[in-house]
Each structure stands twice: as structure tokens, then as C-alpha cells.
Amino acid sequence: MRRLALNDLDAVLAIAHRGSFRAAAVDLGMSTTALSHAIAGLEAGLGVRLFNRTTRSVSLTDAGRQFVEQVGPALGDIHGALEGVRSQRETPSGTLRINAAPTAGRQIISPLVLEFLRRYPEMHVDLVTEGRLVDIVAEGFDLGVRTGDLVPSDMIALSLGRPQRFAVVASPEYFARHPRPSVPTDLLEHNCIRVRLPNGALYRWHFERHGETTKVDVRGRITIDEASLARAAALEGAGIGFFMEPDVLADIAAGRLIRILDDWTPPLPGYCLYYPGRRNRSAGMSAFLGLASKIAARR
């Protein structure tokens, strides 16, 4: 039997976690064909099939499930040991995988991520943005970025500074045809751009003023699950939208969008960078956290 390599084991765990050769190949930075050949070679060497494959799905066999359960923790220890050795390097190198909310990703890309890459040319950053809250350890990320209230209690959190606010906006053309709402319940008389959450539920717009809170299940003719599309619809006069403030500040300043109900959208917890409390941080991880701390202190 051919000698097993760490890449073989990483490949098995990636497919088991993602449930897809295609998704696992993207995570591993290789082609789906190369990954399929690698697994086929591993199975041939072991003399047992690890995955059941159809044209529509991939699942672990009993042998594969046992293999993953036994190898997974040991492989984590091995990678931890390797990271501990790499952390002794003076020059940060390697890859940092970051999972962030879409708005958070847009906020950190220029001042933090791109500045980090300019300073450390041997580093690579894999930034994944998605609305759903993920277990960054289970899904193989080094860091997460979410609002402070969403950071898991067992994580170390680093505040990135500014509190967040929502902004309720519509285009001048829309308000030329409709009166401006003065209280949140007035929105029920308007065409609003509805937002679908990652779990499929429709988002209820949240407002607060002087200790009074209210949620409005707005109505509208269009439902969107991505902020940039909702912004485009608002700019076209399709209705009133509910956004994270940074996504529309430039449009408000330029007069492309008009803000309403400003006194009903108080500051919320700001974004935090969070990560598990591992003892052996890589040089790249330490450098990234150091830069994030400096940027946050300037805000």
C-alpha cells in the first residue's frame, strides 16, 4: 500500500464535512478531478471504500465514518503541532481563513485585509462572506467577524471599533410619489424591499426609541436575500429598504437615497474579530490580530 500523506487525510475530512467533492476541492485549492483521483487512490490502497457516491450526493460509508471519527482528532493535533512550529518563523506566511457577515467583509477588506497583505507578501487570505452564523472551528476557519452579540461565548473576541446602525432609506423618486413615514408602523402603508434570511425566514424590521421597541413585518412586491441587490432596487425607486448603515452612507451623502426614521435606529454592538483560544498561534495569525488591534484603536 502506498504511504499515506497528510493531504490524503485532509481531503477525506474536507469531503466528509462539506458533503461534496466540488465544495471540498474549492476549500483545498485543487480541482475536483484531482481530488476524486486522490480519494480513489487512497481507497484502492486501503482496500475499502470510504464514500458512497452518486451523481447527486456523497456520503460516508460505515468504514469511512469510523475512519473520520478516529483520524479527525489526531489530525487536528498534528496540524496544531505544525502551526506551533511555523509560529516560530519571523516572517508570517501561509493562509488565514476568515468567515464574516457580508457587511463585515466589506468593512474589513480595505483597511485590514488588503493592508495586511501589503505588509506580509508571503501571506494569503481566504475571506468567505455569508449570512448564516457558522461554527468557525468545525468549518475550518481561523477567524470570524460578527457583531458582538453573535460571538460564541467560548471564543476570544477583539472589538473592531465602531458601533453599527441600521438605515431606512428610499430614493427621492419614491418619496416624490409617496409620503415619508414618521413612525415605524407607517411602513405598513408602503412598498418595502423585503429581506430573506439565510434560514429562509423573512426579516422583521427592528426599531427602538427611548426604550420602546417594535418589530414591523413590512410588505412589499420584491423579496431579496443579498444587500447589494436590495440597494440596487432602492436606488431604482422600487421601495423603502432597511440596510446596515455603511452599505448606504455614500448614497445618502450624495442624495441618491433619503434616510427616514433616523431616531428609531440606535447604535448596535459593533463588529468583533473572534477566534478560538489556541495556545500556538501562527506568526500570520498574530500579525493579523496585531494589525486589527491598531486599526480598532484609531477608530
* Cβ 94 vs Cβ 86: under 8 Å: yes
Distance CA 40, CA 34 (A): 10
* Residue 193: band (very low, low, confident or very high) from pLDDT cuts 50, 70, 90: very high
Q: What is the pLDDT of residue 140?
A: 86
Residue that has been written with the C-alpha cell 475499502 in this structure: 48
Q: Give me 56's grid cell.
A: 447527486
Q: What is the mean pLDDT of residues 61-76?
A: 87
Distance CA 255, CA 172 (A): 8
Distance CA 87, CA 94 (A): 11
Distance CA 95, CA 269 (A): 29
pLDDT at 182 over 60: yes
Tell me the CA distances in angstroms from 38 to 23, 67, 163, one per residue in order: 15, 16, 47
Q: Which residues pair with 194 in a beta bridge?
A: 223
pLDDT at 278 over 80: no
> Under DSSP, is residue 83 helix (H, G, I), strand (E, B) or coil?
helix
* Cβ 194 vs Cβ 239: under 8 Å: no
Q: What is the pLDDT of residue 90?
A: 64
Mean pLDDT of the residues in the chain: 88
Q: What is the mean pLDDT of residues 172-184?
A: 96
pLDDT at 232 over 60: yes
Share of the chain above pLDDT 70, in %: 95
* Residue 51: band (very low, low, confident or very high) from pLDDT cuts 50, 70, 90: very high
* Cβ 191 vs Cβ 219: under 8 Å: yes
Give every CB contact of residue 119 below 8 A, 6+ residues apart in sequence: 287, 291
pLDDT at 263 over 60: yes
Distance CA 99, CA 150 (A): 13
Q: What is the mean pLDDT of residues 65-91?
A: 76
Q: What is the mean pLDDT of residues 274-292?
A: 85
Provide the whole-model pTM: 0.58
* Residue 6: band (very low, low, confident or very high) from pLDDT cuts 50, 70, 90: confident
Q: What is the mean pLDDT of residues 27-47?
A: 87
Tell me the CA distances in angstroms from 94 to 29, 83, 237, 256, one per residue in order: 13, 10, 46, 42
Q: Do domains 94-162+270-298 and 166-264 have the same CATH topology?
A: yes
Distance CA 178, CA 186 (A): 11
Region 166-264: CATH code: 3.40.190.290
Region 6-86: CATH code: 1.10.10.10
Q: What is the mean pLDDT of residues 118-128?
A: 94
pLDDT at 86 over 80: no
* Residue 84: band (very low, low, confident or very high) from pLDDT cuts 50, 70, 90: low
DSSP line for 157-224: EEE-S--B-EEEEE-HHHHHHSPPPSSGGGGGGS-BEEEB-TTSPBPPEEEEETTEEEEE----SEEE
Distance CA 87, CA 287 (A): 11
- CATH topology for the 94-162+270-298 domain: D-Maltodextrin-Binding Protein; domain 2 (3.40.190)
Q: What is the mean pLDDT of residues 237-254?
A: 94
Q: Which residues pair with 111 in a beta bridge?
A: none
Distance CA 144, CA 157 (A): 9
**Domain regions of the chain by residue span:** 6-86, 94-162+270-298, 166-264
* Residue 88: band (very low, low, confident or very high) from pLDDT cuts 50, 70, 90: low
Q: What is the pLDDT of residue 191?
A: 96
> Under DSSP, is residue 125 helix (H, G, I), strand (E, B) or coil?
strand
Please give the single-letter amino acid code of residue 172: P
pLDDT at 270 over 70: yes
